[in-house]
Amino acid sequence: CRRALRGVKASFLKLGISLPSRAGSRLQGTAGIPRRSRRRRKSVAIAYEAGQGDGAEPRAARWEPRDWREQLERIREMRRSRDAPVDEMGVQKCYDSSAPPQVMRYQVLLALMLSSQTKDQVTSAAMLRLRRRGLTVDAVLQMDDETLGQIIYPVGFWRNKVKYIKQTTAILKQKYGGDIPSTVEELVQLPGVGPKMAHLAMHIAWDSVAGIAVDTHVHRISNRLKWVKKETKHPEETRVALEDWLPRDLWKEINWLLVGFGQQTCLPVNPRCSQCLNQDICPAAKRL
């Protein structure tokens, strides 16, 4: 059979007819017609951009709360007068702006430590008394605990705060040359300093936005407005939830806005929903 095939091939060559090579095809019925390749072509998956291609599904958009932009604009409108306690006696008003930068930053941190679970009015008065005594790292270290307690009373948990202030001030003197740390990670390692204080210290003392400062007002209002994907139990949970979707250029503003709003309108008990511009689009509003 092979000899006959070679003979046929030789005859075709004498007539000037070329046959396909063995690698390309084999004779099938009529000479010179290649057999269709049995090798399967690899299927290539085509990745479409959102909105392109037949049947392509758009990429999942990042979650964000319903109506949040309109709610935010209305809160800005309600806060336009800047007459809440946080505006007039908040931490940003408690330090000596004419002091050397290092002293100013120390005073910011102390004001934040005193402000925990304390009304702005009480914190402001305590800071004023401290500044009259000379509020520097060295001055506080030279002050005995009893005197410091008498000065800061009646801030909340004043006995614990005396201990934390003395411990933190000693660390600042020994480790940071009398200045305060410039990162959230280092600030929260100081006795009596929590995440909210650390983020506010970064905002006010270092003019750096490292995250959202979440206190009880921000925590409460974020849950009432449904600015968190699911209900949060603690301020730190709320901070993480907010930072996941809120544009970064709003991080510094949001604490100031919501704290004042919480002090004047969205109160912890008996919120003044009838006076709130967001009454019609707030999930927690008490509609009359």
**Is residue 76, in this structure, part of any structural domain at all?**
yes
Task: Check residue 279 and give its pLDDT.
Answer: 96
Q: Are residues 192 and 247 in the same domain?
A: no
Q: What is the pLDDT of residue 191?
A: 98
Report pLDDT for 286.
79
- Specify the pLDDT at position 60: 59
Residue 233 in domain: yes
CATH number at residue 128: 1.10.340.30
pLDDT value for 9: 56
Q: Is residue 17 part of a domain?
A: no
Which range marks the domain in which residue 116 is found? 95-206
Which of 155, 182, 206 lies at the terminal end of a domain, its last residue?
Answer: 206
* Active-site hit among 9, 42, 161, 196: 196
Question: Residue-wise pLDDT tens for the chain (288 aa)?
Answer: 555 555 555 555 555 555 555 544 444 444 444 455 455 544 434 333 333 444 444 555 789 999 999 999 999 999 999 999 999 999 999 999 999 999 999 999 999 999 999 999 999 999 999 999 999 999 999 999 999 999 999 999 999 999 999 999 999 999 999 999 999 999 999 999 999 999 999 999 999 999 999 999 999 999 999 999 999 999 999 999 999 999 999 999 999 999 999 999 999 999 999 999 999 999 999 764
Is position 14 annotated as part of the catalytic site? no
pLDDT for 165 equals: 98
3-state secondary structure the chain: CHHHHHHHHHHHHHCCCCCCCCCCCCCECECCCCCCCCCCCCCCCCCCCCCCCCCCCCCCCCCCCCCHHHHHHHHHHHCCCCCCHHHHHCHHHCCCCCCCHHHHHHHHHHHHHHHCCCCHHHHHHHHHHHHHCCCCHHHHHHCCHHHHHHHHCCCCCHHHHHHHHHHHHHHHHHHCCCCCCCCHHHHCCCCCCCHHHHHHHHHHCCCCCCCCCCCHHHHHHHHHCCCCCCCCCCHHHHHHHHHHHCCHHHHHHHHHHHHHHHHHCCCCCCCCHHHCCCCCCCCCCCCC
User: Are 104 and 196 members of one domain?
Assistant: yes
For residue 264, what is the domain's CATH number? 1.10.1670.10
The pLDDT of residue 62: 85
Q: How many domains does the chain have?
A: 2
